[in-house]
Structure 1
Amino acid sequence: MITLNDVTLRRGAKALLDSASVTVNPGERVGLVGRNGAGKTTLFALLDGSLHEDAGEFSRPAQWRLAQVVQEMPSTGQSATDFVIEGDTALLAAQEEVRLAEDDGDGERLAHAYMILHDAGAHDAQARAQALILGLGFKPTELNHPVDSFSGGWRMRLQLARALMCPSDLLLLDEPTNHLDLDALVWLESWLKRYEGTMLVISHDREFLDAVSTVTVHLDNGKLTRYGGNYSAFEELRAQQLELQQNAYHKQQDKIAHLQSFIARFKAKATKARQAQSRVKALERIERLAPILTSADFSFEFKEPANLPNPMLVMENACFGYPPPGEALAGTPPTVIVRQVNRSVLAGQRIGILGANGQGKSTLVKTITRVLACTSGTISEGKGLNIGYFAQQELDVLRPGESPLQHLVRLARESVSTGQSDREQDLRTFLGTFNFGGDMVRQTVGTMSGGEKARLVLCMLVWQRPNLLLLDEPTNHLDLATREALSMALNEFEGTVMLVSHDRSLLRSVCDEFWLIARGGVQDFAGDLDDYQRYLLDEARRNRDSLRESAKNAKNPLRRGSPASSAEKKLPHGNLKTLQRDQGSVEQRLLVLQAEQHSLEARLSASVPPQERGDVGRRLNQIAEELVNLEDRWLALADQIDAALRRIAS
């Protein structure tokens, strides 16, 4: 188990852990929660060994294998698949042992090395890596693309896949959902529920924490408090605990006030001096309870829109996509993702935009915000439409070299229609309501955290007094308190909201209808978010089956587009697990024989005594025959497994 006993951990002069104690048992899935800056990531650094306690005792089982997401952006020309496979440290060690055994020329060591290689999963490493990559939202055509060809967010997904690929007893995940769409998030939840080791996860997504955690550890004011249950259970227990503590504090204050009043009234009276002195001693013995001090909750509101056109938008035969890149391709048709959309957006609607990764959610939003143009068809805007846009990448609307004050000054000058003051003091006051005070108003955006950038975008949105809000993943860098504030502000907003988000709590609380973007079109989604999660899992299963069939056809072109052969139809059903176990046994025997064959051939190439040469030759012939039979058996089992998988899928 993991234990912290009176641990103090400092970063500079600040004690992020102050005599903190907690225990995490093997196999527990722990949600680590606390406000931004409380020290959660620093605690992870203690757990992974990159930091050491300044006082107290910390222990973690030495034999536990650790996996975590590396925070550095990967830069390599490796394919996505190869990059993720390298996350399997046990496989890399086994491959290195085979190389050393081959160099050593020791047949027995080589045979043993091949068995270790098999046990490490060499035979299905590529399939395991690609399943992780596809689950996290990549397209089948991207499996062999170079890592450097992907954007930053997608490369961080590959880092996550690499961490999941690593066999581990302890898994540390720091905000794993930040770069994920809802479809990838649903897949990750499903994967983590099957994880058998000990897991600690930092997240500001309450539904994700509820789904994957069984224990919650709260980091607050340098102390660690353990709660049984997921985040929702923690919230309820914490509220009850705070109420009890606050009641106890008020009762103690009443008692102290009563004692002080008695002492003040009677300390000068001789007849009451003894009693007054007794009260003084009683007052000194009281162990003072501290009042419950909680950080000021962040809140804001959208101002009433100047007008509410109805309809806000009308889309007629609208197609959404991207123009060809560059003037050189002027004659090339645009890339169309969503086709023939005929829809209206009305005043007061709350629309959640759903769709698997790559189906066109962000493309639709960017086209409505005029970042992209319709590839065909029209979007007609209501008179007085004022769009507030929260981009998934905050720097699409922020300038890294400018300060919050400069952003608001520029916005105030451009938005004269809002009728708001552009005086610097008024702008500073407004920024202060979003926690940009003091020197922060002149700090450059490029040096700010993701949460601070997101808060600045919200500040700019509120200033514009929009009547249509288009929000593309607004919660990526927001903590739970700010997410709650956003949810409350959106519910009180009198205009129209169109929201793309993987935060299901936000979608549930804000949206009363959903549009589904799928297979090149937009349609109403009649179900709720639970129905949508089932839809995503079904889509993922169909994609895996399609990929498996494509891989099979690539190996055997004669099978492409053809129905199952009569031989396949006659295959016994069998038990899939039994077939896979038999195939694994055959593979293991193949590896052992191949290692022995390699060793014997090496002996023959060296000086072997004449009396032994015949025995070596006969053994090599026996091995060759057995290898042929085993390879035939392996192929037969592979066909039976494919047939069984097709039956399961159908």
Structure 2
Amino acid sequence: MLQFKSITLRRGVKIVLQNASFTLQPGEKASLVGRNGAGKSSLFSLLTGRLQSDQGDVEMPPRWEIAEVAQDMPETETGATEFVLEGDRPLMAARAALAAAEAADDGHAIGDAHALLGEVGAFDAPARAQSLLLGLGFRVSQLDAPVNSFSGGWRMRLQLARALMCPGDLLLLDEPTNHLDLDALVWLEAWLLRFDGTMLVISHDREFLDAVTKVTLHLDETQVTRYGSNYSGFEMMRAERMSQQQAAFSKQQEKVAHLQRFIDRFKAKASKAKQAQSRVKALDRMTKLAPILTSADFEFEFREPQSLPNPMIVMDDVSVGYGDNVIVSNISKSVLPGQRIGILGANGQGKSTVVKTLAGAIQRLGGHIQEGKGLSIGYFAQQELDVLRLEEGPLAHMVRLARDVGPQAREQELRDFLGRFRFTGEMVGQAVGSLSGGEKARLVLAMLVWQRPNLLLMDEPTNHLDLTTREALSMALNEYEGTVMLVSHDRALLREVCDEFWLVTGGEVRPFDGDLDDYQKWLLEQSKEMAKRAREEDRAMQSRKVTAPAAPIIAAPVVEAPASAPVSRDDRKAQTASRLKLAELTKPLKKQQQQAEQALEAAQKDHARVLAALGDTGLSPAARAEQGRRLKELDDRIAELELRWMELGEQIEAMGAV
């Protein structure tokens, strides 16, 4: 088991943990939750030995293998599959042992190394690595692409695949969902549910935690409290605990009253619209969490829009993309006041491109977009945090926004407004570049709220937000009276905010008739179909490489006449003569290829027999050494025969193409 015993940890002058204790049993899957800066990543560093505690002990079985996602951005020419394979430390050790044994020409060591490779699953390791890559959204054509050819987000997916490749007893995951879209997220959940080791995960994705964990460790005020439940159960239990604390009662009741007024407002409209009905369900859950939400000490709301054009946007046969590359076409849709639209689709299908086009960030490639009179768009882009002026403070951003976009305001009014987003005192002048990702996201939200938009286009707004700030965003969007179009992998946010979905797939946008559960089922079906096709293609490739007869390599007629052009009798005679001549010319090569194939099959059978014999614990050292040398000879022989078989096939194909 894993035990923290009276751990105290200081980082500089700050005490992160003080006399903290908890236990995880083998096979338990737990989440580590707490505010940003509470010390969650420091706790991970204690487990991996990068930090040492000031007091207390961390105890775990000495032979446990720890796997974690490296946070550095890899820069290497290594292919994607090989990079992931390198995460399997036992496999790398077995490979190194074989290389050392071969260099020393030590037959005994060679035999042991081959036996070790069999034990660590070396023969199916590439297939397992590629399965991880495909599950995380990589295409077949990218499996051997150099690591440094991928963008930052995809390199972090490679780091995640590399961590999952390691047969770890303890798996540490720090924000594994940040760079995943919804289909990859669903796949990851299914993989983790099958993982039989112990797991500890840090994440701000509520539904992800609910799906993969059954224990919650809450890090708060230097203490770790264990809850025997997933995240939703933890919220309820902690809310009950907080409700019993008299010191917080007054503040808590003020929050409850605020939430109740909020709910009553929508209950009055519930009979009028389907949208109101779905939002009331989300708010009913929030009332139960009123005590826990008091700990967030952060809330905000979007100002009431000055107008609600009807329709807001009309798209007629619109095409979107970049340059000459059309990604999505034939979009003919209207966006109406009050709609809550979630935009679904796999990574790379064009979700963000559609939103960027509507926001005016990129030009449409075709069709027509008609905007309603008085339309005011608030756009939260994935890269919005990168376009903030890093050398300026939050107040300078707000002053410029009020001056250039409006509405106008005095400096004190802007300071008060920023205070509602937890920018107070000297922090309003602090350079944005020194702020955390969550603080930058709150600044972008503040700038959106100030503009009083009537259409919100939000592309992954929660990437840098902690759980309590996500709750505040969900509540604000539910209270907002304008229209929302949302791209997000945060399913809790999609469920609580959206009541209809658009699916971007196959170069088109179409309504998705179902909820998020239906979408996840659809994704799993698509994933199974892709995996089935991949297996069929792999079997076909292996069959062509080793077991396929030589004859089918040659296409009988080199060029077929079109069906609409009848072939004359003379032409048929000429084609027949050509085929006979080709068959005569290639006959010796085909015979050689068949002989090479038979020899290859025999060598592979011998290899399997020798490998099985190495597993016999009764072998003498001399016999084991001899078997090791024999195995090396067979490896070389198999490689030679495979190369010969392929060369003959290429010669036959070349003759057929003449």
Same fold, TM-score > 0.5, yes or no: yes
Pair 1:548-2:535 in alignment: yes
What is the aligned-residue RMSD (CA, Å)? 3.1
Distance in 2, matches of 1:594 and 1:413, equals 79
Deviates more, 1:124-133 or 1:187-196: 124-133
> What is the CA distance between 1:245 and its match in structure 2?
3.8
Q: Residue 469 of structure 1: SS of its match in structure 2?
A: strand
> What is the CA distance between 1:347 and its match in structure 2?
0.9
Pair 1:524-2:511 in alignment: yes
- The amino acid across from 1:527 in the alignment is G
Q: Residue 178 of structure 2: SS of its match in structure 1?
A: coil
Aligned to 2:193: 193
Aligned to 1:329: none
Deviates more, 1:480-489 or 1:550-559: 550-559
Aligned to 1:166: 166
Give unmatched runs, 5+ long, in structure 2: 251-290, 556-603, 617-621, 643-658
Distance in 1, matches of 2:184 and 2:464, equals 17
Query: 1:111–1:592: 8 Å Cα contact kept in structure 2?
Result: no
Query: 1:118–1:588: 8 Å Cα contact kept in structure 2?
Result: no
Aligned to 1:311: 311
Pair 1:488-2:478 in alignment: no
Pair 1:392-2:377 in alignment: no
- The amino acid across from 1:151 in the alignment is S
Deviates more, 1:539-548 or 1:513-522: 539-548
Pair 1:50-2:50 in alignment: yes
Deviations 1:228-255 (A, max 9, x none): 11111111111222223439999xxxxx
Q: Residue 122 of structure 1: SS of its match in structure 2?
A: coil
Aligned to 2:592: none
Distance in 2, matches of 1:428 and 1:585, equals 78
> What is the CA distance between 1:292 and its match in structure 2?
11
> What is the CA distance between 1:624 and its match in structure 2?
7.0
User: Which structure 2 residues correspond to residues 268-279 of structure 1 after superposition, within 5 A?
Assistant: none
**C-alpha spacing 1:89/1:425, structure 2 compared with 1 (3 Å):** same
Query: 1:394–1:453: 8 Å Cα contact kept in structure 2?
Result: no
Aligned to 2:421: 434
Distance in 1, matches of 2:630 and 2:387, equals 70
Please report the TM-score for the alignment, with normalisation by the length of structure 1: 0.77
Distance in 2, matches of 1:160 and 1:135, equals 11
Match 2:349 to one of 344, 349, 359:
359
Q: Residue 540 of structure 1: SS of its match in structure 2?
A: helix
Query: 2:65–2:170: 8 Å Cα contact kept in structure 1?
Result: yes
**C-alpha spacing 1:248/1:146, structure 2 compared with 1 (3 Å):** closer
Aligned to 2:277: none
Deviations 1:480-516 (A, max 9, x none): 1100100000011111000011111110110010111
Pair 1:178-2:165 in alignment: no
Give unmatched runs, 5+ long, in structure 1: 251-290, 324-333, 563-583, 597-602, 604-611, 633-650
Aligned to 1:283: none
Distance in 2, matches of 1:162 and 1:487, equals 34
Q: Residue 78 of structure 2: SS of its match in structure 1?
A: coil
**C-alpha spacing 1:593/1:106, structure 2 compared with 1 (3 Å):** farther
Aligned to 1:600: none
Query: 1:415–1:464: 8 Å Cα contact kept in structure 2?
Result: yes
Aligned to 2:396: 406
**C-alpha spacing 1:396/1:370, structure 2 compared with 1 (3 Å):** farther
Deviates more, 1:342-351 or 1:142-151: 142-151
Pair 1:477-2:458 in alignment: no
> What is the CA distance between 1:223 and its match in structure 2?
0.8
> What is the CA distance between 1:317 and its match in structure 2?
0.7
> What is the CA distance between 1:70 and its match in structure 2?
0.7
Aligned to 1:136: 136
Q: Residue 363 of structure 2: SS of its match in structure 1?
A: coil
> What is the CA distance between 1:204 and its match in structure 2?
1.3
Deviations 1:199-231 (A, max 9, x none): 000111111111000111111111111111111
Match 2:337 to one of 347, 362, 367:
347
**C-alpha spacing 1:115/1:502, structure 2 compared with 1 (3 Å):** same
Please report the TM-score for the alignment, with normalisation by the length of structure 2: 0.76
Distance in 1, matches of 2:606 and 2:40, equals 47
Distance in 2, matches of 1:539 and 1:371, equals 32
**C-alpha spacing 1:589/1:501, structure 2 compared with 1 (3 Å):** farther
> What is the CA distance between 1:593 and its match in structure 2?
7.9
Aligned to 1:330: none
- The amino acid across from 2:357 in the alignment is T
**C-alpha spacing 1:540/1:247, structure 2 compared with 1 (3 Å):** same
Query: 2:607–2:634: 8 Å Cα contact kept in structure 1?
Result: no
Q: Residue 309 of structure 2: SS of its match in structure 1?
A: coil
Distance in 2, matches of 1:590 and 1:525, equals 56
Distance in 2, matches of 1:293 and 1:366, equals 33
Q: Residue 164 of structure 2: SS of its match in structure 1?
A: helix
> What is the CA distance between 1:108 and its match in structure 2?
1.9
Aligned to 1:149: 149
Deviations 1:597-622 (A, max 9, x none): xxxxxx9xxxxxxxx9xxx99x979x
Aligned to 1:508: 495
User: Which structure 2 residues correspond to residues 576-615 of structure 1 after superposition, within 5 A?
Assistant: 589=609, 591=611
Query: 1:111–1:595: 8 Å Cα contact kept in structure 2?
Result: no
**C-alpha spacing 1:296/1:124, structure 2 compared with 1 (3 Å):** closer
> What is the CA distance between 1:58 and its match in structure 2?
2.0
Query: 2:239–2:292: 8 Å Cα contact kept in structure 1?
Result: no
Distance in 1, matches of 2:55 and 2:392, equals 42
**C-alpha spacing 1:387/1:588, structure 2 compared with 1 (3 Å):** farther
Query: 1:246–1:292: 8 Å Cα contact kept in structure 2?
Result: no
Aligned to 2:96: 96
- The amino acid across from 1:438 in the alignment is G
Q: Residue 504 of structure 2: SS of its match in structure 1?
A: strand
Distance in 2, matches of 1:473 and 1:315, equals 23
Distance in 2, matches of 1:527 and 1:585, equals 53
Distance in 2, matches of 1:408 and 1:248, equals 34
Distance in 1, matches of 2:221 and 2:634, equals 69
Query: 2:381–2:461: 8 Å Cα contact kept in structure 1?
Result: yes
- The amino acid across from 1:167 in the alignment is P
Aligned to 1:373: 363
> What is the CA distance between 1:124 and its match in structure 2?
1.7
Query: 2:382–2:459: 8 Å Cα contact kept in structure 1?
Result: yes
**C-alpha spacing 1:247/1:397, structure 2 compared with 1 (3 Å):** closer
Deviations 1:65-116 (A, max 9, x none): 0000111111112222221111111110000000111122221221110111
